[in-house]
Structure 1
Amino acid sequence: MTQNEILYSFNNFSTWIRSLENTNEKLWFAPIEEKKWSISEIIAHLFNWDRYLISEILPAVQIGNEINFPEYDTFNKRASDYIQSGVSKSKLIDETIATRNLLVKLLHEMTIERLNRRLTVNGVTNCPSTGAPYSLIYIIKEFADHDTHHKQQIMRFLSGSV
């Protein structure tokens, strides 16, 4: 995938998120599998990561600092906690789309050099699974793949619930 394709895919995800507005409330809050999150928790999870990218990762990249990701389980629990707080489906969808749109805007404002600059992530310069050097565009591609993974989970769940 080229940089433009990665950013397009990352941006286009908002359209799919918007399509979830008509999801039945019961399905919205039901676990997609036993001991798995609900659609609402998955969307909150994606929203939280986008917020983290905006508040922590992009500023670190701008000033050339190492990137640090938090401990995943603790961080990801915030998504479930947010849903348990009573946030509505429409509010979560609106927040998620607005945050993704802002993130994509900020990424488009970055220079190609900044997007491709090699990074150190949690003390490592290359992805342990692929060996590829870390860069912001590489990380965004990983997040786009992560989006696709969750989209497929949700689509399978919804297609089995019809």
Structure 2
Amino acid sequence: MSEERNIIHSFGEFSTWLSTLEDLDETLWSKPISEGKWSVSEIVAHIMNWDHHLLFEVIPSVREGKGMEFPECDPFNKKASDYAKSGVSQAKLLKEVRYKRELLVKELHTVPTVMLNKPLTVNGETHCPHTGLPYSLIVITHHFIYHDQHHQKQITEFLEANTVV
């Protein structure tokens, strides 16, 4: 399997990890992971919101040979938080997140390798300020794997600290 396909496969593993949250107690699901932080439900909705953006904004833009645009984070993330607090059930949100990620992974697999690697701008910038790498769809996908892992670690640590064994 090519490096690009391995990255996409790794990105899809988040769907499998979601199953660990299916039987989570509702109190823990909606409790902030620490003072001033989001709850597990808000984090999960946040990831789904970014997946939606990648699927319906970023990939079409890349297919058209345009740069990638990402919205201002705070208002964008607030929409996810609001949705998580809207009364959507845990089961429904998990189903939606899994469906969105699987759809996104399926779509990424249809993007030709040359297009995955094509250098493009992100909000007008050509290179990632953290890695120095030129931006491309596969580089952004790789960044989102780290984003997922960051939030998975937060959730896992929260659950370990709050679960009676």
What's the TM-score once normalised by structure 1's chain length?
0.98
The match for 2:89 is 88
The match for 1:41 is 42
Structure 1 CA distance, aligned partners of 2:6 and 2:82? Answer: 33
The match for 1:32 is 33
Identity of aligned residues (%): 51
Cα offset, 1:69, TM superposition: 0.4
Unaligned segments of structure 1, at least 5 residues: none
Structure 2 CA distance, aligned partners of 1:18 and 1:94? Answer: 10
Structure 2 CA distance, aligned partners of 1:48 and 1:10? Answer: 15
- Runs of 4 or more above 3 Å deviation: none
The alignment partner of 1:139 has SS state of helix
Cα offset, 1:7, TM superposition: 1.0
> In the alignment, does 2:140 pair up with 1:146?
no
**1:47-92 deviation per Cα after TM superposition (whole angstroms, max 9, x unaligned):** 0000010110000000011211000001000111101211000000
What's the TM-score once normalised by structure 2's chain length?
0.96
**1:60-75 matches, cutoff 5 A:** 60-75=61-76
The match for 1:131 is 132
CA contact (8 A) 1:6 1:140 kept: yes
Structure 2 CA distance, aligned partners of 1:27 and 1:88? Answer: 13
Letter in structure 2 aligned against 1:114: M
Letter in structure 2 aligned against 1:32: I
The number of aligned residues is: 162
